[in-house]
Structure 1
């Protein structure tokens, strides 16, 4: 089967099952709305792809009897008494960053390119973010 494309929201709504089936099968599924076009993508496929193209590059440092985690190039850091606590704190910091990005940072010049990271954060559960940070494959 080929890609599924609808030229209007009304067409897409009338064929929603076909649109979602195409997405589930990994086929290209799009909808035109005014001058824009939106893609309907299976969440797990998108999350898995983003985790590959957006490696965390997290740096973890043991210091002062605890652990610190930071992501170079991002204003994010977390500390914990243990390695796992520091990673858990970083997961929470990522969640807060994603909220802030969606509320106001998405239009800031030094944050607007973090769209993929924010999608990855929001589409991942805590265990998936933990594995992404430490480089573990699921």
Structure 2
């Protein structure tokens, strides 16, 4: 397999433009640091992969003259007077959860498995998150 591997961050830094170009083209690019290896990938390629592997499973309920959205298995819920407002509130809730996860929840056993979701949220625009929650153009 033809992959690009840098044996140190100094080597990667010396070839940084090539590293980014190769990652952007979709090549396998890794950087070794001590006993760990990190992958460098194109943001949109990773976001698209995460979108397909992290289903939204959002449930929307019309109730009491408004709308509620929640994602089963996650401590996330949002309400709004209109469907659009509820979706916008859920996007905000996803962003807040991702921030909390980065700050303090990443090591909590009941949240550690949400790494993919947090990465997906961080790599997505608000519009992309809306589409992910309710489908494109809705």
Following TM superposition, the consecutive aligned residue runs of length 4 or more in structure 1 with deviations greater than 6 angstroms are none
Aligned residue in 1 for 2:68: 68
Aligned residue in 1 for 2:37: 37
Provide the alpha-carbon RMSD of the alignment. 1.2
- Per-residue deviation, 1:21: 1.0
Aligned residue in 2 for 1:12: 12
Q: Deviations over 1:30-72 (max 9, x none)?
A: 0000111001000000011100100100000000100000000
Which segments of 5 or more consecutive residues in structure 2 lack a partner in the other structure? none
Count of paired positions: 137
Aligned residue in 2 for 1:107: 107
> Given the two structures, how large is their TM-score scaled by the length of structure 1?
0.96
> Given the two structures, how large is their TM-score scaled by the length of structure 2?
0.96
- Per-residue deviation, 1:18: 1.5
Q: After alignment, is 53-62 or 9-18 more displaced?
A: 9-18
Aligned residue in 2 for 1:58: 58
Aligned residue in 2 for 1:84: 84
